[in-house]
Structure formats: C-alpha cells, structure tokens
Amino acid sequence: MKAAYRISFKRIFVATGLGAIILFAYNAVLLAQPLNGFDLRGATIPENEVFKGGPPKDGIPSIDSPRFVKAEKSSQLDGSDLVLGIALDGIAKAYPLPIMNWHEIVNDHFGDLPVVITFCPLCGSGMAFESTIDGRPLTFGVSGLLYNSDVLLYDRQTESLWSQLKSSAVTGFYKTRQLNPVPMQHTTWQHWREQYPDTLVLSIDTGFSRNYSPNPYEGNEDIEQTYFPVKFRAKGLHPKERVIGLTINGKAKAWPFVELRKAGGVVNDVVGDLPVTVRFNEEYESADVFDKQGQMLTSVTLFWFAWAAFHPDTELYLYKLSTGRK
C-alpha cells in the first residue's frame, strides 16, 4: 500500500505541473538542513558534494593534548611504519600513521607556534598548518564530513569548516581564509629517525582507549573504488597510486611514485617558471621536492585520485615523455 501511495502521489504532482517545483523546493530544504550540525549554506564548495563519512562530529576524536616520547624509548613502531614528520625551529616530531588513522587531527605546538597536523586516510594525505589566524590560535576537530572523499576539519572557535586539501575554510566566519602550510615529510619511521635521531614521536598514550595495531583501512590502497564520490576521476593511473603534488602560483604538478621509480629517484623539473628537484627514495617509498637553493618546498603525498580531484588541470610527470622514449 505504501509503494502504491508513493506512485500515486508522484503522478498527481507531475500531472498538475507542480512536480518539478515541489521536488526542487524539497531538495532545497534538504540541502539547507545541517549535516552533522554544520550549516552548509553559502559554502564555497557544492553543498550536494559534501557527504557524511559515517561518524558524527567528533566521532573521530582529535588529539588535543599530545604526549611524546624520545625515539629510543619508542617501542610501538616498526622501521617500515609510515609517519608524518615535521622539523621546525630545531624541534623534530613524528606522528605515526597507525595513530593518525584513528584520530586524523593532532593539535600541537612547536615552541610558541600552534600547529595542526592532519591526515585523511581515505586520500592518504598528510598536511600540517600553522593554526593561527590574525593572531588568534585555533583548535581543530573532525567534522565527520567529506568533500571529494577528503576530510573537512572544523575550528572550535567559530565552527567554520576547512578543507584539508584546499587548505582553506569553505563555510562560516573564516570562509575563504587560507591556512599557512608547514613543510612535512611523509616517510617511514626508519628514514625519519635516520635524519633526526633526536626526534620525538607521538605516544600511543593518547588518552583514548584504542588498539593502534590494526589498520582500519586495510586494503584501501589496493582497490580502484573510492568510498565516497569524487568530482573528478582522472584516467591513466591506478586511482590509489601514490603521487607527490606541488602547487606554485596556481600551477599544479604531480609526480607518480611509479614514474619516479623509473627515473632512478631524482627528477629535475619545472613548475610554472620555478625549477624544482624531486628526490624519491625507493627503499623508503617517500619523496620530497626542493627548490634550486635546496630548500624543501611544501608538497603533499597522497593518492592520485585525490590530487586529480582537487587539481583537475594538473600537469602529470611521465618518465617516457620526459626522456622522449617510446
């Protein structure tokens, strides 16, 4: 009876010419409804491309009082475990992905500088930012919402939503404001510790009851499908191929790890008008980008589908094309 009632209801409105108007108004009402408590009206991204990831707001808890241990006292990590590493103002810290998978955000400080460390397991993207706007320190939480399968953060001071890969606020008081990125390495624990033997490492004593050994996203890298829709899917590479991406003055370029491996680990390239050098370490499956003075540039390592979704006009490094080989 219920199914028949719905069919009859639809026919009545289509027949009277009001169906499209009612459905449009209904969809507008739906879009105006808060998602996980966040009002998306006036967002700088399409509202209908924002999805609930499953957990509610703060269902994935950020780490707001991080504890660290010295490298030699850390027994939780294997050398092959991936970490996000930051060296800033003489301080080196590592944030293991086995922990970041479960929390996605760490609100931290380097000296007097507030820094937020973010990781999106669905995109494989780790990024860090200075978490101060106009001299105002912000703390961030996980909204439980996704855009292009990438995490949307929110600041607790104004509840503005921020896109990790856009590095900007997409709703709220800070809409369109940008966060200043902090250079970060996405590499193995062994590689990071070799570079910074005195590094601190985020402790599993996070204040939450978690078993950090299992990977809740096991197998995600192997499948072509994404858990949530993305605006743009580029062809030619496996969607989960890891790339390192860089944007300079509005010009974006990505170097797939599979192509860097063919090139032997060092690629001299140009992004816009800026000469850059990409260094790939095959043993540690990590890459970094440097300017001609040897200074590390702020790049991001992530899955190809995620880079392409946010940078549909990106250039893509291909070894054959760069060498003229067929």
Residue entry with tokens 């969809």: 27
Are 52 and 77 within 8 A, CB to CB? no
Per-residue pLDDT of the chain (326 residues; tens, 9 = 90+): 333 323 332 332 333 344 434 333 434 444 456 899 999 999 999 999 999 999 999 999 999 999 999 998 887 799 999 999 999 999 999 999 999 999 999 999 999 999 999 999 999 999 999 999 999 999 999 999 999 999 999 999 999 999 999 999 999 999 999 999 999 999 999 999 999 999 999 999 999 988 898 888 888 888 888 888 887 777 789 999 999 999 999 999 999 999 999 999 999 999 989 999 999 999 999 999 999 999 999 999 999 999 999 999 999 999 976 665 54
Q: Where are the chain's structural domains? A: 68-202, 242-323
DSSP code string of 125-174:
EEEEEE-EETTEE--EEEEEEEETTEEEEEETTT--EEETTTTEE-SSTT
Kindly report the pTM of this predicted structure.
Answer: 0.87
